[in-house]
Amino acid sequence: MDLKEIMNEVPTSVKQEFIYRKHKKGSLIIHPNEQNNYLYILTAGLAEVYRQSYEGTMLSLYLYDSYSCFGEIEIFNDQMKTLGVIAKEDCETIAIPKTKVYEWMRLDFNFNCYLIKQLASKLISSSETAAQLSLLTAKDRILLSILNHYKVGDLENLTKQLLSSEVCVPIRSLNRSIAQCMNEGFINYQRKKFTVNSIEEMERYVADLL
């Protein structure tokens, strides 16, 4: 069962504690580096998870669409601090207190299975991503990072310093790899701004990497 179906069978004692919220585009749903005692269910809109770099720039990690959940990892690990979650569109969420999440898990096997699958999926995804990135060349990591920034709509904010931090390449090597990407026709870099020449070609290239 998917989360939307499971939501139709929420026990009354749990549903009574639902906190319904609306978030304007660009507003924070979860502030970074906080203690979190809620499971968040995104019922409408698009949300972005980000990490802040040392320079204060936002690094996009992934996107959630409607009937996704986040915050579950912190519920099961008190030492975990939150990543920032920002509304990319007008969003609606339901916040569920940790104690009621535990109660829901005890009363609903399908919900219990859903959460376990979510945790397992995120663990596998993180491990696979780390393994895949370690095998990529500097050029490949640069194109992947630029494509991700393009997709979330913040490519105009991407600097060489930020890109260097994201792909773990020193600036001198980064410049050589950027020149290679430009020579191969994937991107341009002018006036300290990156642009993508063909999103279709970039996606095809990156798809072959992962």
pLDDT of 53:
47
User: How far, rounded to the nearest angstrom, does the alpha carbon of residue 132 sit from its chain's CA centroid?
Assistant: 17
Domains within the chain, CATH numbers bracketed: 3-132 (2.60.120.10), 136-209 (1.10.10.10)
| 30-39, 51-60, 93-102: least confidently modelled range | 51-60
pLDDT at 30 over 60: yes
DSSP string, 41-66: EEEES-EEEEEE-TTS-EEEEEEE-T
pLDDT band of 156, cuts 50, 70, 90: confident
Overall residue count recorded for the chain in this entry: 210
Higher pLDDT, 73 or 23: 23
pLDDT of 50:
76
At 53, phi and psi to the nearest 5? -75, 170
- Total Cβ atoms within 10 A of residue 26: 10
Q: What is the pTM of this model?
A: 0.63
For residues 143, 201, 189, 87, the Cα torsion angle rounded to the nearest 10 degrees is -70
pLDDT at 51 over 60: yes
pLDDT of 29:
93
User: Which residue type, as a one-letter code, is found at position 36?
Assistant: N
